[in-house]
Amino acid sequence: MIRGRSIALRVVRESDVITVLELENDLERRGDFVPNRLRPEPVYRKEFQETGFLTEETGKLLIVDGEDHLLGTVGYFRPVYYMDALEIGYSVTDPALRGKGIATEAAGLLAGWLFKTRKIDRVQLTLIPGNAASRRVAEKNGFQLEGVLRRAVFAQGKSVDLEIWSLLREEWEASQG
């Protein structure tokens, strides 16, 4: 378990799989800034059985409070095979809990854990311009805006741009001072 100030990140357990899948497949709850992809249960269960949603290249952890109540998810993956980087994503499941710093703390914990446990020099995230909440998560964790990937993803029925933000290992280390 990766413990923070007010939350923790923990591995997905067998008993969590259906709940997490239902949350990921609830398109209305996911909001306007996440692509509308549905995951079939057999594929999801197979991935969990094979990897527990945790490998060197990709992973999913649960965001929980002090009483192990599910608050959301964070994940990471290799953006392209030739990059010495991992990309992170995050989601707070209950819209009423958004804007309270949960995603900010979770993204910071995940980035720190990745720098401590992986031979990478950058952690990056992408967000759809206009997603003010994710922009705040990036800024509060020291990520720097690098540019815009034009028409990079299909979301909400149209192709949209993505901003790409990064945090370099030396920037993260300096912030730990």
Query: Cα dihedral angle (167, 84, 152, 162), rounded to 10 degrees?
Result: 0
Domains in the chain (CATH in brackets) are 2-175 (3.40.630.30)
The 10s digit of each residue's pLDDT in 48-79 is: 999 999 999 999 999 999 999 999 999 999 99
Instruction: Quote the percentage of the chain above a pLDDT of 90.
Output: 75
Whole-angstrom distance, CA of residue 127 vs CA of residue 104: 14
- Residue 27's CB is within 10 A of a number of other CB atoms, namely 13
Q: Please give the average per-residue pLDDT across 20-27, as a whole number.
A: 84
Task: For residue range 110-160, list pLDDT tens digits in order.
Answer: 999 999 999 999 999 999 999 999 999 999 999 999 999 999 988 878 899
What b/e sequence results for 46-76 when a residue is b if at least 16 CB atoms lie within 10 Å of its CB, and e otherwise?
A: eebeeeebeeeeebbbbbbeeeeebbbbbbb
